[in-house]
Chain A
Amino acid sequence: MSEDTLLKVENLHKVFPGNVYAVNGINFEVKNKQVVVIIGASGSGKSTVLRCINRLEVPTDGNIIFNGKSITDKSVDLNQVRSEIGFVFQSFELFPHLTVLRNVTLSLEMVRKMEPKDAEAKAIEVLSDLDLTDKFDAYPGQLSGGQKQRVAIARALAMNPKLMLFDEPTSALDPELVGYVLDTIRMLAEKGMTMIVVTHQIRFAEEVADWAVYMTEGKIVEQGHAKEMLRNPKEERTKQFLSSTLNK
């Protein structure tokens, strides 16, 4: 494993109760400052891979090495690991009873143990970067979908994660709002944030990603440099998937 590697997934398996084989032996790497996209049809196990990386799901088998340490190990401090990996959900999962500002400061105070004043300063900085200056005191229920997702991104970013995981961040958005969120991810990529993005936005993936992974039935069919692979896939199944997705 090269020094530049931030995350390495080795032979990852996940079996859900009832013998549902969601992930069947996955291997890939994420280097520092790299943007990796995972594409594939619904039910292909993309999200499960992401959820295994920050241990929302416990892997059945395999090894995940993050920042030089195995996080499948039993002795690992999960809360510590999770605080270094930002996770953005398809359904936002903002805390509806807290204001936008409090959504961001809460984990800074509870997990990072920051003083309320410092946490607030940090939250204001991150929210301002994402163009949410006028929404500090709003509640999530008062925001549009695009704004919600950007608050969710800000909430994860404020923790200064080493890695950001995006689980279909635009799937729950109205088409006209998708652009705002993609712009935000693009901005993060330009700033050099290491990211794994599960997405159906192939054009966006081509443009932003360094590395692309195509999955189906819990297995990787093809992976390679994003621009090359997404324009000229080698595997027949990848070609089929890409053409059907792009023609939609």
Chain B
Amino acid sequence: MKNTQIQKGRFENRTTFLIALVIMVFIIFMDIHVLSQTTGENYWFYSENQPSDDFTDVLMISPTDVYFTGITGTIYHSTNYTNTFTSIFSASSPLNTIDGNDTFLIAAGDAGYVTKSTDGETWIELDLGQAYSESFKDIEIQGDNIWLIGTNGLILYSNNSGISFVKQNSVRAEQLNSIDFMNASTGFIVGDNGLIMKTSNYGSSWITIDSKTTLNLNSINLELSSSPRIWIGGDQGLFLASYGATFGETFLVIDTGITENINDVYSPIFGIVWVVGDSSTILGLRGNEFKNIQLLETNATINFNAVYAINNEAIAVGGEIYFNKEGLVPVFSTDVDWSDWWFFVSEVEPLLLKGMVAAVKVIVVAIVVGFMIGLFMATLRTIRNRPLNIIATAYSDLFRNTPLLVQLFFITFGLPELGVNPPLFMDAVIALSLNTGAYQSEIIRSGIQAIPKGQMEAARSLGMTNVQAMKEIILPQAVRLTIPPLSNEAVILFLNSSLLSVIAYEEITRVGTIVANATFLYSKTFILVALTYFIVTYSITQILRSVERKLKIPGLGGGAL
């Protein structure tokens, strides 16, 4: 007797219990701090307390050990995510660039000025062997090897951490703007008038590579992985890439959609490139798809001179300093030990959460738009008008008798051929809305037809117009009847959103695939992916169930009339 009572009580509280369970899992699974950070589109934050200067370069040893150079010749240091700044040194000439490693830092500027520090506090001007009037534009450090480049094609090289320098021969006399090496012997330099040079022997000799452009190239960055890539930014939004079989030989133009001068490019990890330039330009380029370019606008109208990033954290400097905690979902790092389950979860969940937000965004819009389409089409099907009946039926039949995946492909890849090229998000929304609209129109139509004919007759017999009767009498009842099938449709649609992964829309499944391919932890990854879907779909069901209860008509059981 006692047992039955307990069981009965349990049964009645089952729904409450499950809701509580979902919320608990949600809280454990999703870090609260991540939630609070992902509420905005723009993750670039103006660093308060920054000194006033025109910042020429930034060097991140870590997010809590960052150096900045200014046009005033000052070197600044920040040890707390750019919350506060200390001015540590003032040079006698403007500084253009800073670089460093674990053991020393080097900054260089106009009028042949170069300075070095081993502790970050005391700075000593380096003896270059002779005086140079040229301005230095960039520094490259590989172990004890140092290169300094600048105007008039000047290249200085030291193989002893800067104790002595020798001049190397540039092929051309153009201003050299940026230098980056793959290893101590092999590297690249870019300069004005489309100059690209390469060396394979520590810079003893340089050869030019045809860039097919005469625009000034301002920055080069090598993304080092098993298949390395080169990124180059230049004037008028020119953006070049080189990878694959013709790595370092052929440079392809990547359309960034901007015309501002690009002043710096930087790839912190495989799969992400930050691009900064004039007029507050900041681009994040992600993954293998060049389609995934995000323009993140700051509120400032300043020119950015340099960008540096470590993993998710990035700093862009120019007229002002901006800090980014986690701008883009990075493509997953492959060289980490993932055997610790909780470490794995903590690394993956922010990515899945972003995927979830992206999927929910699409689904919410698609369901709302689909419901409007469904309501409209269902009405067209039930009124007495043959041509309109046929149009509505044709729409519904077309979208219910072809695969969603094919519809998605047509809209994403077919529409651009026809001259319409909506952004990826819109591709996803259009495909899912049209698809669910067809199903929802069927559901709503059956709801309308389930309302007894007498209801319409009663309304009309009172003198109401067809539209009034539809709006006040038929649809309110039909919609109540359709809540259970509609909530089912919402769940199916959300699960079907996993198809968006094939058009590279970064939703949950897509994130899961990227993570799994990088970590090789397929079962662990897809358990987390499945759990993410479950949380969302289960919440949808519960919410709609409570809506159904709220809308329930007293004295009317089970939805029947």
Contact = CB atoms under 8 A, between A and B. Distances in A.
Interface of A: 54, 56, 79-80, 82-83, 85-87, 89, 91, 93-97, 106-107, 110-111, 138-143, 155-156, 159
Interface string B467-499: 010001100110010000000000000000000
Given A79-B465, A96-B556, 12 more contacts: A54-B461, A56-B457, A83-B462, A83-B463, A89-B458, A91-B454, A96-B555, A111-B462, A140-B555, A141-B553, A142-B555, A156-B461
6 contacts: A56-B461, A80-B463, A96-B553, A97-B553, A106-B472, A141-B555
B553 A139 contact: yes
Contact of A93 (B455, B465, B553): B455
A247 B78 CA distance: 106
Give the size range of B's interface with the partner.
20 to 34
B462 A155 contact: yes
A79 B464 contact: yes
A82 B457 CA distance: 11
B463 A79 contact: yes
Contacts of A93: 452, 454-455, 457-458
A54 to B, nearest CB: 6
Nearest to B462: A107
B461 A95 contact: no
A71 B492 CA distance: 51
A208 to B, nearest CB: 22
A156 B476 contact: no
B554 interface: yes
Nearest to A91: B454
A138 B557 CA distance: 15
Interface of B is mostly: helix
A56 B553 contact: no
Interface in B539-561: 553-557, 561
A82 B462 contact: yes
B10 interface: no
Contacts, number: 79
Contact of B477 (A96, A110, A138): A96
A44 to B, nearest CB: 21
B8 interface: no
A139 B480 contact: no
Nearest to A107: B462
Given A56-B460, A107-B464, A159-B462, A139 B554 contact: yes
A87 B464 contact: no
A178 to B, nearest CB: 20
Given A97-B477, A139-B556, A82 B461 contact: yes
A86 B461 CA distance: 7
Contacts of B553: 96-97, 139, 141
A95 B463 contact: no
Interface in B511-561: 553-557, 561
A26 B462 CA distance: 25
Nearest to B469: A110
A138 B553 CA distance: 10
B52 to A, nearest CB: 64
B142 to A, nearest CB: 77
Nearest to A112: B463
A107 B468 CA distance: 10
Contacts of B477: 95-97
Given A89-B454, A97-B476, A142 B461 contact: no
A155 B476 CA distance: 19
B472 A110 contact: yes
A95 B455 contact: yes
Interface string B427-462: 000000000000000000000000010110111111
A71 B455 CA distance: 23
B53 to A, nearest CB: 68
B448 to A, nearest CB: 14
Contacts of B464: 79, 107, 110-111
Contact of B555 (A80, A91, A95, A139): A139
Contacts of B557: 141
A225 to B, nearest CB: 29
B460 A96 contact: no
B462 A156 contact: yes
A143 B477 CA distance: 19
Contacts of A95: 455, 458-459, 472-473, 477
Contacts of A107: 459, 462-464
A85 B463 CA distance: 9
Contacts of A110: 464, 468, 472
Contacts of A139: 553-556
Contacts of B473: 95
Nearest to A158: B462
A157 B554 CA distance: 25
Contacts of A79: 460, 463-465
B455 to A, nearest CB: 6
Residue among B457, B477, B480 having the largest count of chain A Cβ atoms under 10 Å: B457
Interface string B390-431: 000000000000000000000000000000000000000000
A244 to B, nearest CB: 29
A214 B24 CA distance: 73
A109 to B, nearest CB: 10
A95 B163 CA distance: 94
A110 B472 CA distance: 10
A91 B561 CA distance: 12
Contacts of A80: 463
Residue among A85, A96, A138 having the largest count of chain B Cβ atoms under 10 Å: A96
A155 B463 CA distance: 12
Interface string B368-403: 000000000000000000000000000000000000
A54 B459 CA distance: 12
A110 B557 CA distance: 28
Contact of A87 (B455, B461, B476): B461
A228 B553 CA distance: 48
